[in-house]
Amino acid sequence: MKPSAAAAHSLQYDFDLTRHNTLRLPARAQAYARFHSVSELLSLLAMADREGWPVRILGGGSNILLNGEVPGLVLSSAMTGIRLLGGDEQYQRVAVDAGCHWHDWVCRSTEFGHGLENLALIPGSVGASPVQNIGAYGTEAGDYLESLTGIQLSTRQWRTLAASECRFAYRDSVFKRELAGDFIVTRVVFRLRRQFMPDLSYGPLKAWSESTEQVTPQALIAEVCRIRSDKLPDPEVTPNAGSFFKNPIVTASVAQQLQALHPSLPVYPQASGKVKLAAGWLIEQAGWKGRWLGHVGVHDRQALVLVTDGQADYAALRQLQQAIQRSVMAQFGVALEPEPQVF
């Protein structure tokens, strides 16, 4: 079976991925293609089978670490359709193609329903959002995801997974575990509330809501964008991958011991009985905020964000990551886990 004309046309060899990851780490793919349809995707996968190429899927490149040469075929979705499936008195169901830009989808989502407003301005694609179970300001993508469809690479079988099968947790899902690197998401179905009931539990959003005349979906999205822009650097200007470390989850007794030693430590009790700690606070207290090691550093306004000057490679970033982890472990006895995945 020969590749379709569209698939053959889109295929590029020795493709530079430097501008396709928000940290701007240098890397090249043996082969790269964007697929615009399911049939084109299948044709590209058939080609990869014939060539014996491993296959990797690349979204917006905002939560990955590239390390030099990438063997095989790297695929990106160019499918950007949005379709209303229907609903009931409380919810609307909307199917969104994986290639849609996440922030653009959040802005459009208010035409159909509500719930995603707090996730505005998060970089990346819709297809990548379930992998990380992206979240911000009290909301997670998994809260509003009904199901997703895609192809499992190891079996070449199409699968539709319900939200429960995705095993969403804090910055986690089945796609970072059993299905890590083994699933191409092609479509996500969201279940949005018809009624606008904003989550304003995050301190700055609560303060804003108390000082504004009316909280509307558009106003909330604008305020979320303002808060994120104030706190986080624009990856187009300063290469970064957003929050680099997960906020660690510890037992209540460990949190109590740490607070006794460090009274200003922010803690966030969880429904599970455990406690979430603020990784940014730990990193800042360990003396890393604003510090640089060569071409990589810690953002001077948000210690949770690692940045580069555009000249860094994976080894330099890894060196900084490990230095921060050692410092926090030595000072607080807490292990930090990075959010971005090595590609």
Active site residues: 171, 243, 339
Distance CA 217, CA 298 (A): 33
Strands 249-250 and 341-342: unpaired
Q: What are phi and psi of 40, to 5 degrees?
A: -65, -40
102's enclosing H/E stretch is: helix 102-109
Residues of 66-92 as b/e, b for ≥16 C-beta within 10 angstroms? bbeebeebbbbbebbebeeeebeeebb
Strands 249-250 and 267-269: unpaired
Q: Which residues contact 172 (CB under 8 A, 6 or more apart)?
A: 133
**Residue 102 amino acid letter:** W
Three-class DSSP category at 312: coil
